[in-house]
Structure 1
Amino acid sequence: MDFVASVEDIQVATFGGEDATKWRIGQLFSHSIDASASDPDPKISGPSTEKRDELLGVWNSTPTWTLSYTSPDKGPLYSQGNAQKVMSTYDMTTTVNSPTVDPYIEVGSYQANVRFDYSGPVAGKFKGTVFTKARVELTMSLKDPEVNESALHIYDALKRPERTFPSSASKSVPGETQPLHRLVDAKKQADQRTNSIKECKKVWGDYSGTPLQCDEYPFASTHEGSLAGNGRYSVRLIEGSDNENGGSMLNSMYTLNRIIDGDAFFMKIVS
């Protein structure tokens, strides 16, 4: 993982006899590991220096610098339940100094939370890095003919849950303001899928032999699915191809954003 830091667009104005050529700007990075949230034996290798302190003229001529951080892995251990997750935080302190003025120090002028992991095929690329506070959204359009039925079902679940089944006057369904969280356990996914199909048959009867499929939201591949135990879900019969296209979009979102078990994401339905 690389950070590219810079000081750019420097503008100098004469004031009080100050000599701008003697002013300095510093950037000091530091990193730490949250061992309690990481897998066993977490490690990070940082750059040879995490500090740059230069005169304004040097920054002006060379405004950027790069810091590289890596997390050494032990080979593929994901099949043993070890994704080698390393949860880390990066902070930058900014300083400004002049020979005649008290120094300015801004601690925490930049902060990032980063996860390294070796999660295998479930994450798309077998190993990689993500910014854990980035908001991830799966967007579907009501006008997209490939997934318009899926999109309408999710829209109703989020905005008009009284129109959905199982029926409940007080039902609310997560995904818009409350996140969904990925579930990768294949057995639990299958159990949720089976439960959702059972609910579809309760409402619409036997639909075998038709082009329809039982669509469920939240998805079977989330911890908020139909077996979460709180009734905050919806099922609906929709065109099978639409349902499958929606599933493909979901899986692509997982791998493109490196969403692994327990990671949060949101839904966004547009017209």
Structure 2
Amino acid sequence: MSQRLQLTRQWKRGAVTACALTLLAATGAAAAPDGGPAAPKQKRYEWVDASTVPAEELSDLPKPVPFSQYQRSRGKNTASRPSPNPKSADEALRKECAKHEKEAKTVKGWVKSRWQSCQKRPYDLVLRSLDGTRDIGRLKFDVWILGRAHDGSRRADYTASVEDIIVQAVHGEDAKKWRIGQSFDLGIDLNDSDPDPKVTEPGVIRRDELLGVWDKTPSWQLTYTSPDKGPQYDKGNRQRVAAMLFMDLNAGSPNALPYSLAGSYRSLARFDYAGPAVGKHMGTVFTEARVALRLSMKDPAVNESALHIYDAQNRPERTFPSWLGKSVPGAKEPLHRLMDKGKRDLNRKKAIRACTEVWGSYSGSGLDCDEYPFASTKEGANAGNNKFSVRLLSSDDNQTVGTKRLNGMYQANRVLDGDPFYVTIVS
């Protein structure tokens, strides 16, 4: 993370801490005007994560109910809220996200691809006395954030929602007065951006509502764009903007200290105008997505290359150049795209020399010198560590992998210079 982003987060957390200290001060005893005994404390409760409360204490709040049912029990006539009805594309992403529960509830969520991401994070909070002797409320809900990046546009869209709210309140506490807040902020990593990086934020980046409002209108939209100056990639400026979006979440009651979780969600997105080398001239990607080139040893179009790469990754002793302890990256350690033509040519020349040293002249044989890692990667033959492999393969097979499959993967995923990717071989 860049220094700028670190400072942004530290400032944010500092602000939350300062707010909490201010509220703590408000709960303490205030001196009487005449210097007499302190006034009684006004707030004696706080919100805490249910995981910090002993199970036997949670038994005091055994029957949380959906918020709409709670409202009806308090005498407010409310029609049952229909389930969210997202667009079909969002519905498909939500279903996939739910199947990746472990990843989806993390801070970055489940990053399906360079174009789609999703967080589904459950919260379970308990309202209890500051000394931990009494629990008077429980609040459970799910936060969903669906992210979409766009190939062909410097734009990223997010749909945030608070859903499936379940509550229980006792000892006079009123859950209708409870609130949930979401606050989005943006940072730019200057180290990974080109000159003058900018992102235009949406007009509304914070939403703090009573539970009843969330229950009625659970979702809201945020769109982030990055302005461009027209094509400048021929001058070396790809107009990259490495952005980090993060969300803070809070929950509260008028009678208690709030629950605050800074950085409950994070999304890394990159805007660029890189030109035809990555397909559409401009676009946006989620950079934490795992990008991989998949080849099958059963595919007759590329089976020779696939076997070569498999051997290099798993049986390097069968490959040339041969040396004790050799290992070749790409399966567990990523490769990184190299767009500098001069450096790619140096990789290629060294690989050809290695082929000639092992097999002699192969001119007119119909075979190509296949090298792995690819010449278009920073880990290519000229990297200086001899962690590469060469093998003579049929020209058709070799060219299909290089000119079609690999370049196709680069363009399909907007892989820029230095971007990591993996190579997966299936049998």
TM-score of the superposed pair, with normalisation by structure 1: 0.95
Secondary structure of 1:166's partner?
coil
Deviation per CA, 1:85-143: give whole Å up to 9, x if none.
11111110001111223211110000112211111111111111112222211121222
1:13 pairs with 2:168: yes
Match of 2:231 among 76, 80, 95: 76
Structure with the bigger percentage of helix: 2
1:127 pairs with 2:282: yes
> What is the identity percentage for the equivalent residue pairs of Structure 1 and Structure 2?
58
1:130-169 map, 5 Å: 130-169=285-324
Deviation per CA, 1:50-101: give whole Å up to 9, x if none.
1011122221222211111111111111100111111111110001111223
Q: How far off is 1:213 after superposition?
A: 1.3
1:269 pairs with 2:422: no
Residues 207 and 26 (structure 1 numbering): CA distance in 2 closer, same or farther, change over 3 Å?
same
Secondary structure of 2:410's partner?
helix
Counterpart of 2:195 in structure 1 is 40
Secondary structure of 1:269's partner?
strand
Deviation per CA, 1:181-226: give whole Å up to 9, x if none.
1001122212221221221122122222223211110000001101
Whichever residue aligns with residue 308 of structure 2, its letter is H
1:245 and 1:10 map into 2 onto residues whose CA distance is 53
Counterpart of 1:258 in structure 2 is 414
Secondary structure of 1:227's partner?
helix
Counterpart of 2:353 in structure 1 is 198
2:388 and 2:419 map into 1 onto residues whose CA distance is 19
Larger Rg: 2
Counterpart of 2:391 in structure 1 is 236
Counterpart of 1:173 in structure 2 is 328
Match of 2:216 among 29, 49, 61: 61
- RMSD of aligned residue pairs (Cα, Å): 1.4
Counterpart of 2:380 in structure 1 is 225
1:208 pairs with 2:354: no
Whichever residue aligns with residue 92 of structure 1, its letter is M
Secondary structure of 2:166's partner?
coil
Secondary structure of 2:207's partner?
strand
Whichever residue aligns with residue 34 of structure 1, its letter is D
Q: How far off is 1:159 after superposition?
A: 0.8
1:32 and 1:191 map into 2 onto residues whose CA distance is 38
1:13 and 1:148 map into 2 onto residues whose CA distance is 61
Whichever residue aligns with residue 421 of structure 2, its letter is F
Whichever residue aligns with residue 262 of structure 1, its letter is G
Q: What 5-or-longer segments of structure 2 have no aligned partner?
A: 1-155
1:187 and 1:24 map into 2 onto residues whose CA distance is 59
Q: What 5-or-longer segments of structure 1 have no aligned partner?
A: none
For these two proteins, the number of residue pairs brought into alignment is 271
Deviation per CA, 1:155-174: give whole Å up to 9, x if none.
11111111100111221111
1:61 and 1:152 map into 2 onto residues whose CA distance is 57
